[in-house]
Chain A
Amino acid sequence: AQSVTQPDIHITVSEGASLELRCNYSYGATPYLFWYVQSPGQGLQLLLKYFSGDTLVQGIKGFEAEFKRSQSSFNLRKPSVHWSDAAEYFCAVGTTGANNLFFGTGTRLTVIP
């Protein structure tokens, strides 16, 4: 069965520090993987996606993620966090880009000065 696990419910980092949000997936077919961000009162915004090719993908706002098939992981990283990055982050997996996506429970990021 398809599933996505985000082990960290809440992470607090200092502004300027590096960030890594974890995502593990279970999927029978070749997965398409996504990271979405939701700021308060906003919709889900796509940060980046992986379909094939280079396993290190770059996204918007300085984020990147690395697909590791052997570990069934797709962790999100940012070298230096900004206060505006405080939000909820969702990892998702699907067979196509949009239909029937499976989401994780999300990780809430708090950024402290």
Chain B
Amino acid sequence: EPEVTQTPSHQVTQMGQEVILRCVPISNHLYFYWYRQILGQKVEFLVSFYNNEISEKSEIFDDQFSVERPDGSNFTLKIRSTKLEDSAMYFCASSEATGRGTEAFFGQGTRLTVV
């Protein structure tokens, strides 16, 4: 069964460092998403991406965040200068479409710890 894969599963980084979280969406999917879950809090939408552009983003997704599809298979989330409050589980997701009836498939998550 096709699945969304994320690497690494756990990343520890020092405050102020740049970090890149990687995702391989399901191969025939066209829409890509990042969500995050701070420990003990809700899963929150960060950004959606289609046709090499951001299609929607939340208030959380500020200038320190960026997304990219560097090749035909990867989808990355970059955090430019990490802060302690960026520590969270980051989930990548993908879908075939984005309209009525569409289902998002999520990866297993990358746990980011900023120290």
Contact = CB atoms under 8 A, between A and B. Distances in A.
Given A42-B108, A51-B101, A98 B45 contact: no
Contacts of A41: 9, 108
Contact of A101 (B9, B99, B104): B104
Given A44-B91, A103-B42, A96 B108 contact: no
Given A44-B91, A105-B41, A105-B42, A97 B108 contact: no
A100 B9 CA distance: 23
Interface of B: 3-4, 6, 9, 31, 33, 35, 40-45, 48, 55-56, 58, 91, 93, 95, 97-109
B43 A43 contact: no
B40 to A, nearest CB: 8
B48 A99 contact: yes
B101 A101 contact: no
B31 A99 contact: yes
A51 B100 CA distance: 8
B42 A97 contact: no
A98 B93 contact: yes
A49 B103 contact: yes
Contact of B109 (A43, A90, A98): A43
Interface of A: 4, 32, 36, 41-46, 49, 51, 90, 92, 96-106
A99 B108 contact: no
A44 B98 CA distance: 18
A101 B103 CA distance: 11
29 contacts: A36-B106, A41-B9, A43-B6, A43-B106, A43-B107, A43-B108, A45-B106, A46-B104, A49-B103, A90-B43, A96-B98, A96-B99, A97-B95, A97-B97, A97-B99, A97-B102, A97-B104, A98-B93, A98-B102, A98-B103, A98-B104, A99-B33, A99-B48, A99-B95, A100-B48, A100-B56, A101-B43, A101-B45, A106-B42
Contacts of B91: 43-44
Contacts of B48: 98-100
Contacts of B108: 41-43
